[in-house]
Structure 1
């Protein structure tokens, strides 16, 4: 089961499968795609992804990981989160192992509770994650962290993950929601442009998507609103236009 809700322009996606420690199967991977599609249709400004109970996501459900279609479903879910044109925060409330770490790094920011643990032990069972996951792990956590997780099959707790940059803040779900509410007040077009640029593995000056997003910020009503708010000494009210 996946619980989806929205309040104050912030969406919440909660994996709720405690009997399997929120492990991902095809059904729940597809549910993540549907959940993000639903929240984007509601025009939320930020999204928090978390798990019910004591686990964030224990990984892939081994009852399905070897079946046809699981990998496609998993990577569709990861990219639905990664490609969303708004900030997505992982509230890592407990172990995030294998596909759980993949889910966490697909998000833009990670807030980790004391019980959070990250690990990608594919070399222990003969599986492999795709090149995007390897590059993304190195991008957000650094090359040393990626090698530690992928080559040594280490597990990293919240404090060490925070020290290495894999985790952005330490805290509970409410801290992640508070961060999301703060991000929801910022200029949506600017955030979307910043995210698009940060996620490009290679930058080209003539990239049409980046150019359009960049020029869109400079010609937006939000830019004019920011200027008015500064002159009037008040908080801006951005519309995303």
Structure 2
């Protein structure tokens, strides 16, 4: 139900349930956790999350959404994707609805094809998403878009999503892979640090002192890494840098 591969530093996690429009069931959510661990173990420096068939992910599989195991499996999957240290790019084509939008939000960047649509119609179904999802939505797309999706159950097309920040760029699957290939050439320690800080300070409320100290330590690690010398040498030699993540 999920295919996983890593080529030239770019990992691919692909939902492969086209007959169910890539809806998430318990098994698929658990496979997402395993897939996240695999691309990390394979040394991916950027990851693309995509879907086969006509949809990115049409949401939760309603054959299982009301079962007692579904919520636990879903949020384990979302956090496994969100917690990857490298940038994760969602290649969104067709619907990203409900849990599908949540999966797109768990990614760091979103490339939306012309046929992409985003919606979170929980209020039409008597369901709810967790506070982390809503906080992430507000952080990425802003309060106005979040309220439109949550309170009016609006459907947002690709152009509107891009204009409001929900999609970072417009393009097809190939464009998502091109972005990932470019990201994969960048300094891994810097990217991991940037992502960690953006996630920490993007949250509302107070950041714990111990977390600030850990982020400061990660900042110092970037400046003490071998990659900083490689970046300087490559610039002097007028060539692309070859970062090693150390």
TM-score grouping bracket, smaller chain normalisation? over 0.9
2:83 and 2:39 map into 1 onto residues whose CA distance is 14
Structure 1 counterpart of 2:152? 152
Matched, 1:225 2:238: no
Give the match's secondary structure for 2:12: strand
Q: State whether structure 2 residue 240 is matched by structure 1 residue 235.
A: yes
Unaligned runs of 5+ in 2: none
Equivalent pairs counted in the alignment come to: 241
Q: Secondary structure at the match of 1:216?
A: helix
Runs of 5+ in structure 1 lacking a partner?
none
2:89 is the counterpart of 1:89 = yes
- What residue is the counterpart of 1:171 in the other structure? 171
TM-score (norm 2): 0.96
What is the RMSD computed on CA atoms of the aligned residues?
Answer: 1.0
- Are 1:126 and 2:126 an aligned pair? yes
Question: Under a length normalisation based on structure 1, what TM-score does the superposition of the two structures give?
Answer: 0.98
Q: CA deviation at 1:204?
A: 5.5
User: Which secondary structure state, in structure 2, belongs to the residue aligned with residue 129 of structure 1?
Assistant: coil
Task: Output the CA distance in 2 between the equivalents of 1:82 and 1:210.
Answer: 17
- Report the counterpart of residue 38 of structure 1 in structure 2: 38
When structure 1 is superposed on structure 2, of 198-207 and 64-73 the one drifting more is 198-207
1:212 and 1:61, CA in 2 relative to 1: closer, same or farther beyond 3 A?
A: same
Q: CA deviation at 1:158?
A: 0.3
Following TM superposition, the consecutive aligned residue runs of length 4 or more in structure 1 with deviations greater than 2 angstroms are 202-206
Q: Take 1:205 and 1:128, find their aligned partners in 2: how far apart are those partners?
A: 32
Find the aligned partners of 1:230 and 1:203 in 2 and give their Cα distance.
36
